Chain A
């Protein structure tokens, strides 16, 4: 199946996602359940990754600036640059992109496998025969929950990345906290926060909608359910990186 056919199917799929739910109360219950599964269940992994990545970025940036291998001597760089680099890269790239690539593996595979399993066990057919818009029923709560919760996780991740950087600066003694914070403040541009939010919403939509799409069209058995998860993660990662480039080019 070529890319154009796949994109066409995805657009047709999305047409049915946003139809009015048959029963608002059932939809609301499912939305809350999905927000819990996507948000609360992912919090620990997001916290760990953010703190560690922030610390590593700080240590490696400082190491590069103080290395004798550079074009310019290390004495020419104020150490506050480390805070500046960590702050900007966290907001612009690491928080939205790395967090979403991790969530693609966790949430994307989970959603695709769950819906794929419903498909091969005829549960999706059962919804259809009952007169339920099965695409909307299984996908809309997941997509909406993702679009609400994942940006929140990314905001938490941004603060924790910077906190991880501060922690590394403090614990390793490579610079003072004042130097780090000075660099952080000097590099802050309000536009970066807007880019962060745009990326957050776009990436969270990509993660949830592509995984629902991949799961919904699973054909076969247990093996294909597993494959649906793997394919969903691959497609999500490639699409996120593609849109990362497009958003950066358009907004910066």
Chain B
């Protein structure tokens, strides 16, 4: 389980995250929802260690991530996969090499074993016959799939996805959503998806955290969402505006 305890983040004078306390449940798709500019991306970046919190803690199974020694942080990071909003594929490498990269860095597999794992991951995201293409030669949806394949190449425990549907057509978005849901269940990983797409919430969301103006406004299961809307005008406005 990942927990945020009194998480605060300032960028100079700007208070971006305000006393956030939240839990992300293991083995399910946790969705962080909220309007653009509300602090979702900063929250996710703080959770994976790309930003340092000003105050507060990010606990991975009770371990305070930001208080770990540098080497310990690096080890924990090898259990984390991330799908970036812009995919962040290594543009000088082919699709195959992108997925192979984490294996090359952190496993002792032979070349053949690495290739088997690469092909398994690529077939898992339904991407075939693209091994030798570079990121510039494939579509946005395919890039997202390569990003997912790269993220799951190692046996990760946590998968973070920053706006996985941004820039995709509705049909491809649903395919990516389904893929993230299936991978979460198949590998039993804790998935944290940062999104403002209510369709994603409806389709694959299990545990929802609503972030509004840098604060956690509401947290609960998808089934509790409609009830929560009645007592939470900001959440209600966000949900209604999304449909």
Contact = CB atoms under 8 A, between A and B. Distances in A.
Contacts of B48: 129
A131 interface: yes
A22 B105 contact: yes
Contact of B77 (A121, A123, A130): A130
Interface of B: 45, 48-50, 73-78, 80-82, 84-86, 88-91, 101-102, 104-106, 160
B75 A123 contact: no
A202 interface: no
B105 A121 contact: no
B84 A126 contact: yes
A210 to B, nearest CB: 23
Interface residues of A, number: 14
Nearest 9 pairs between A and B by C-beta?
A: A131-B77, A122-B88, A126-B88, A131-B78, A131-B74, A129-B82, A122-B84, A23-B105, A129-B48
Nearest to A23: B105
Interface of A: 22-23, 26, 121-123, 125-126, 128-133
A121 B75 contact: no
Contacts of A133: 74
A158 to B, nearest CB: 34
Contacts of A23: 104-106
Given A22-B106, A122-B84, A122-B86, A129 B91 contact: no
B49 A129 contact: yes
Nearest to B162: A122
A130 B91 contact: no
Nearest to A120: B86
B88 A130 contact: no
A130 B78 CA distance: 5
Contacts of A125: 45, 50, 82, 84, 88
8 contacts: A23-B106, A122-B86, A126-B82, A126-B90, A129-B77, A129-B80, A130-B78, A131-B80
